[in-house]
Amino acid sequence: MRPLTDEETKTMFEKLSKYIGENIKLLVDRPDGTYCFRLHNDRVYYVSEKILKLATNVTRDKLVSLGTCFGKFTKTQKFRLHVTALDYLAPYAKYKVWVKPGAEQSFLYGNHVLKSGLGRITENTAQYQGVIVYSMADVPLGFGVAAKSTQECRKLDPMQIVVFHQADVGEYIRHEETLI
Amino acid sequence: MGRKLDPLRKAPRGPGRKARKQPGAENELSKILSDDSESKRLSSHSRKRAAKRRHIEEQKAKPSRPEAKQNGNAQAAQKGKKKLSGFSDDNAEWLQPVKKARKDEEDDEEMEEDASDQVEESGDEKEIGNLEEDGEESEDDEPTGGLELSDSDDLRDDYGASSEDDDDGGDDDLLPIEKAAEKQKKKSKGKKGAEDEADIQLNVDVDEHFTLPTADELENQSSAPLDLTTVQERIKDIVGVLQDFVKRGGQHSRQEYLTVLRRDLATYYSYGDYMIKMLSDLFPVSELVDFLESCEVQRPVTIRTNTLKTRRRDLAQALINRGVNLDPLGKWSKTGLVIYDSSVPVGATPEYLAGHYMLQGASSLLPVIALAPQENERVLDMCCAPGGKTSYMAQLMKNTGVVVANDMNAERLHSVVGNLHRLGVSNCIICNYDGRQMPKVFEGFDRVLLDAPCSGTGIISKDPAVKTNKDLQDIQRCSHIQKELILSAIDCLDAQSTSGGFLVYCTCSITVEENECVVDYALKKRNVKLVPTGLDFGKEGFVRFQERRFHQSLRLTRRFYPHTHNMDGFFIAKFRKFSNSIPTNKEVTEETGDHPTKQNDAEKKEAGQKEVSPKPAAQGQKKGQKTLPTKPGQKTPLTKPGQKTTPTKAGQKTPPTKAGQKTPPTKAGRKTPPTKPGQSTPKTKEQKSLKHKKKQKMLQKKQKLLIKKKKEKKKNK
C-alpha cells in the first residue's frame, strides 16, 4: 500500500473528471476528516485517514481491501473505473441518463443503452461525455459514455446505441470474484 | 335458446335420475342418520318425550321377557337407574363409564390374543364380582348393569333411534338372522360411540394398547423393504407412551422405548446415529420430534434493509411493485422484512444490486443487535464471510468508526468485498488472517463479534448433509478451534474502553460442546463475565447438562431453535471484559465471583441504548409460509480447510494462545494511538493500570503466604 505517484494521480483524476468534472475537489477536501487515495495491488482505494492508520498494521499480503475501491491501473498504466466507485460518482455526477424500466434489466446484464430504452438525458451532453446511468426511480445503475450528443439523440432511430456500457451494478453478481 | 327459458316448463323437483341410490344404501343411510341423531343434543322437550317413551317401553318389556334378566337384584338396580335417567347434567357422568365398559368388553372379544393386557382382565374380574356380590348398590355398579344388558342396549342408547328399533322390533317375531344383524348393527353403533369417547379422552386407550416391537420384529422389519408409514406410526405411539409413561401397560423400561424411538427417528428423518443421540440428549422427546420436523422445512427468506441507502418503507414499496409479497420481520427488528413469495428472484432485483437490502437470515441479525456497536467505535468481526453481519454493524455505526472484517478463507472474502461495496460500507478494513493470530495484529477494540466456525447443527434445513456427516470428532474439533478463537477474540478487546469492552460469541450450532462449554472455558481463562444479551426472547443457555456443570451466569446466554422461534438454530453469548490482565489459574476462582465496579456505567449506557423493543418476537413470523430457496451468500458452516488442529477431548483444556501469554498485563504501551474523540485521557488510564498492578501484586503476595502456611502445616503433621 502506497500513495499514488504524480503520474498515477493525474491519469486517475483525468478519468474521474470525465464523470464528475470539477467536483473532484469535494472528494479530496471533505468536512468530515481527511480522505486520501492509496494504491494496493494495483487497485486504488479511497479511504479516510483514520482507517488508513489502523490498516498500516496489516501486512501487505493479508490486506484484501480497505475503504472503497475506485478502480485499478492496467498493465499499460491506464486507469479503469470500477462499479464500486459508483457511490461516490453518482452524487456529484454532471451528466446523467435515465433508462426506462423495461431497459433496466438489459443494462444490468451488460448491454449498451439503446434509444428505445432512453427515458431522459441531461441537456447539452456532448458526444463521448462520461455519464451516470440511473433508473427512472433515481437509483444509480452504472455508468458509461454518451455515444451521441443530446441533440443527435432526438432524431435517432430506436435501435441505435445512446450510451456505451462501461460498468453496471450487475457486476456485483456477474464478476464477484474479479471485483477486487 | 328461447325455449329453454320457458317459465312454464319448470324443472321437476325431487330426486332426479342421477339421484338413484345404490341397492343396500338404505342400511348405510339409516346407520348414518341414527348416528347423527345420536350425536345431536336433544332439546329439553324431546328429552322429556324420550323419557316418557322409554318408560312405556320398559313397562312393555317387563312382561314380555322376564327371563332376560335372571338376576333380580340387577333388575332392581337397573330400575333405580332408570328413574335417574333423565339425562341431565347431574347424571351425565354415569353414561361414560358404561360406554367405556362396553368398549372394554368388545375389545376383549376382538383382541383376546392380547394376553398382556392385564388391566382389562382385572377389570373384568371386578365386574364379575360386582355382578355376584352387590346388587343393591345401585349407583356404584353401573358397569355391571351396562354389561349385563349387552343385548338391549337400553342404558347407554340415545333415546330417539334405538327406541324406534325396539318399537317395531318386538324381537320375538324376528328370524334368527335378522336378530343377528340387529345385534351387529347395535354393536357397531356402540363401537362408534365408544370411538368418539376415546377421541375425547385424548387417545388414552390407543396408547394403552401400544406394545413395543421385540428385537426380532425389528430385525425382520429392517430386512424387509422400508415402510415409512409404520415407522411414523410407531414414532407417534412411542412419543405418546413416553409422555405418560406410567400408563404404558407392559413392563418395558424407558430405555427400551428410547432406543426404538431413536432408531425409528434416524430412519424416518435419515439422520446419523450420533446426531440423533446428540439431539435426543438435548431435547425432551416431544420437542425432539418437533425439532426434526422443523428441520425438514426451509426457514422463511428474510432480508435486511440497508439504512445507509434507503428506508424500510421505501424498500418495501419498491419490492411490492416488483411483485414481492412481504411483511415486517418482527417487533424486535426495525430493518428486517420477511418474504413470503416473489415473482422475481429476490437476490437479483435492481434494488438488490443497488445495495438497498441484503439477504440475511433472521437469526444472523440477533448477534449484531446483541453487540449493539456505537458510532465512532472500533469493532472487529473475526469470521466475517459473507459479510452480512459486518455490513449490519457498519450500518448501525452509520459508516463511522472502523470495522475490521477478518476471515481466514481468502475465497470467501470475495463475497465480503462484493457485499460491503454493494451496500456502500466505506469504513471497513478487510483482511485475511487466521483468527487466532489477530491479537498480534490488532488490539484495543471496543467490541468484537465472533461468529465462530461450527458444525452447523442449527441449520440442518439449509444443509441436510449435516444429518449424517458429523460425528463426535467433528464437534470436538470445532469446539477446540472455537476455544482458541474466543481467547484471541477476548485478547483483542480493550477492557478500558469507555463505551465498550464487549464480545459477542455466536454459533449456528446447538450442541453444548460448541456453545456452553466454550463460554465456560472463556470464563475460566480470561477476565470476562457474561452480561445480558439484550434480546428478550430465546431460551436460556444450559447451566448444567448431563455430567457437566457450568457457571451460573450462563443463564444469560440465549439459544434459538427452529421449532420455537422459526429461525435457524443459534446460540448467542455476550461478554464484558473487565480487566486486560490474563489470570493465572489460581486467580480465576477468586475473580470470577466479584467484579470491579468500573464497568457499571458503561453497562447502564448499554441498557439504555437497546435497539430491541422489549417485547417477545417471532410472532411476526408465520408458520407454514412458502419459502424460497435461500440465496448463496448465506452461511455455509464448515470447518475451514487448512486449519491445523488436533482433535482433543471435550473436557480437555487447551493452554491459552501464545499471543495471549506474551501480552503484558497492561497494554497501554502497545496500543495504537486512540483516535476517538471524547475518550478518557491517557493519564487516568495509566493510573488505573497502576492500581490494577498493585492489586495483582497484593494478590500474589497473599497467595504465596497461603502456600507457605500450607507447607508449614504439612510439615507439622
**Tens of pLDDT along B498-539?**
888 999 999 999 999 999 999 999 999 999 999 999 998 899
Cα–Cα distance for residue pair B563/B293, rounded to 1 Å: 8
Length of chain A: 180
pLDDT of residue B18: 62
pLDDT of residue B234: 87
Mean pLDDT across the stretch A37-53? Answer: 94
Provide the residue type at B557 as one letter.
T
Q: Which residues in chain A have Cβ-Cβ distances shorter than 8 Å to B416?
A: 64
Mean pLDDT across the stretch B333-352? Answer: 92
Residue B386 marked as a ligand binder: yes
pLDDT of residue B49: 83
pLDDT of residue B380: 95
Tell me the pLDDT tens digit for each residue of B558-582. 999 999 998 999 999 999 999 988 8
Of chain A, the percentage scoring pLDDT greater than 90 comes to 88
Find how far residue A106's CA is from the centre of its chain.
19
**Residues of chain A with a CB closer than 8 angstroms to some CB in chain B:** 46-48, 50-51, 53-55, 57-58, 62-69, 84, 87, 104-105, 108, 135, 137, 139-141, 169-170, 172-173, 176-177, 179-180
B677 touches chain A (CB under 8 A): no
B430 touches chain A (CB under 8 A): yes
* Confidence tier at B244 by pLDDT (50, 70, 90): confident
- Is this prediction's ipTM beyond 0.90? yes
pLDDT of residue B403: 95
Mean pLDDT across the stretch B154-180? Answer: 53
B692 within 8 A of B581, measured Cβ to Cβ: yes
Q: CB neighbours (10 Å) of residue B70?
A: 9
Q: Is the pLDDT of residue B453 over 60?
A: yes
Residue owning grid cell 447438562? B545
* Confidence tier at B46 by pLDDT (50, 70, 90): confident
Alpha carbon of A39: minimum distance to chain B alpha carbons (Å): 14
B320 touches chain A (CB under 8 A): no
Question: What DSSP assignment string belongs to A76-120?
Answer: TS-EEE-GGGHHHHHHH-SSEEEE-HHHHHHHHTTPPEEGGGEEE
Alpha carbon of B441: minimum distance to chain A alpha carbons (Å): 6
Give which of B314, B353, B671 to mutate to test A binding, by max A Cβ within 10 Å: B353
Q: Is the pLDDT of residue B669 over 80?
A: no
Q: Which residues in chain B have Cβ-Cβ distances shorter than 8 Å to A173?
A: 347-348, 353
Does B508 participate in catalysis according to the annotation? yes
Query: Is B432 in Cβ contact with A64 (below 8 Å)?
Result: yes
Classify residue B214 by its DSSP letter.
Answer: P
Tell me the pLDDT tens digit for each residue of A48-79. 999 999 999 999 999 999 999 999 999 999 99
Min mean pLDDT across B19-28, B214-223, B307-316, B654-663 is at B654-663
pLDDT of residue B22: 60
pLDDT of residue B324: 94
* Confidence tier at B240 by pLDDT (50, 70, 90): confident
pLDDT of residue B131: 42
Averaged confidence pLDDT in chain B: 72
* Confidence tier at B3 by pLDDT (50, 70, 90): low
Q: Is the pLDDT of residue B683 over 50?
A: no
pLDDT of residue B21: 57
Q: Which residues in chain A have Cβ-Cβ distances shorter than 8 Å to B378?
A: 54
Residue of A nearest to B440 (CA): A57
pLDDT of residue B499: 86
Which of B414, B415, B426 is the closest to A68 by Cβ? Answer: B426
Tell me the pLDDT tens digit for each residue of B114-140. 444 444 444 444 444 444 444 444 444
B562 within 8 A of B569, measured Cβ to Cβ: yes
> A87 to each of A27, B171, B177, B394, how far by Cα in Å?
12, 96, 93, 16
Q: Is the pLDDT of residue A112 over 50?
A: yes
pLDDT of residue B485: 95
Query: Is A84 in Cβ contact with B414 (below 8 Å)?
Result: no
pLDDT of residue B6: 59
Alpha carbon of A178: minimum distance to chain B alpha carbons (Å): 8
Crossing angle of the two packed helices B25-39 and B176-200, in degrees rounded to 10: 40
What are A33-39's contacts with CB under 8 Å, separation 24+?
A: A36/A3, A37/A3, A37/A4, A37/A9, A37/A12, A37/A70, A38/A1, A38/A2, A38/A3, A38/A4, A38/A66, A38/A67, A39/A1, A39/A2, A39/A3, A39/A4, A39/A8, A39/A73
Question: What DSSP assignment string belongs to B134-194?
Answer: --S-TTTTHHHHHHHTTTT-TTTS-TTHHHHHHHHH-STTS-HHHHHHHHHHHHHHHHHHH
Of these ranges, A24-28, B98-102, B312-316, the one predicted with the greatest mean pLDDT is: B312-316
Query: Is B402 in Cβ contact with A50 (below 8 Å)?
Result: yes
Query: Is B415 in Cβ contact with A176 (below 8 Å)?
Result: yes
C-alpha torsion B286→B290→B293→B298, nearest 10: -170
Q: Is the pLDDT of residue B23 over 50?
A: yes
Instruction: Classify residue A176 by burial, with Cβ atoms within 10 Å: 0-12, 13-18, 19+.
Output: middle
Q: Is the pLDDT of residue B32 over 60?
A: no
C-alpha cell at B596: 470491579
Q: Is the pLDDT of residue A142 over 80?
A: yes
Residue of B nearest to A66 (CA): B429
What are A118-126's contacts with CB under 8 Å, separation 24+?
A: A118/A153, A118/A162, A118/A163, A120/A96, A121/A96, A121/A97, A121/A146, A121/A150, A121/A153, A121/A162, A122/A94, A122/A95, A122/A96, A122/A97, A122/A150, A123/A150, A124/A149, A124/A150, A125/A95, A125/A97, A125/A149, A125/A150
pLDDT of residue B458: 92
pLDDT of residue B77: 43
Q: Is the pLDDT of residue B170 over 50?
A: no
Which of B350, B424, B429 is the closest to A87 by Cβ? Answer: B424
Query: Is A170 in Cβ contact with B428 (below 8 Å)?
Result: no
pLDDT of residue B513: 92
pLDDT of residue B124: 45
Tell me the pLDDT tens digit for each residue of B599-632. 444 444 444 444 444 344 334 343 434 333 434 4
Bin B545: left if φ > 0, else alpha if -120 < ψ < 50, else beta.
beta
Which of B354, B413, B417 is the closest to A140 by Cβ? Answer: B354
Mean pLDDT across the stretch B548-559? Answer: 93
* Confidence tier at B189 by pLDDT (50, 70, 90): low
Task: Please name every residue paired with B540 in a beta bridge, in sequence order, or none if there are none.
Answer: B558
Q: Is the pLDDT of residue B159 over 70?
A: no
Say whether the peptide bond before residue B386 is cis (omega within 30 degrees of 0): yes
pLDDT of residue B174: 65
B295 touches chain A (CB under 8 A): no
| Structure-model confidence comparison of residues B374 and B49, the more confident one | B374
Task: Please name every residue paired with A35 in a beta bridge, in sequence order, or none if there are none.
Answer: A48
Of B656, B672, B689, B670, nearest to B581 by C-alpha is B689
Residue of B nearest to A58 (CA): B441
Q: Which of B295, B428, B454, B508 is catalytic?
A: B508
Instruction: Classify residue A173 by burial, with Cβ atoms within 10 Å: 0-12, 13-18, 19+.
Output: middle
Cα–Cα distance for residue pair A95/A118, rounded to 1 Å: 14
pLDDT of residue B7: 59
Q: Is the pLDDT of residue B680 over 70?
A: no
Residue B295 marked as a ligand binder: no
Tell me the pLDDT tens digit for each residue of B371-423. 999 999 999 999 998 999 999 999 999 999 999 999 999 999 999 999 999 99
| Structure-model confidence comparison of residues B488 and B601, the more confident one | B488
Crossing angle of the two packed helices B410-422 and B388-396, in degrees rounded to 10: 40
pLDDT of residue A61: 93
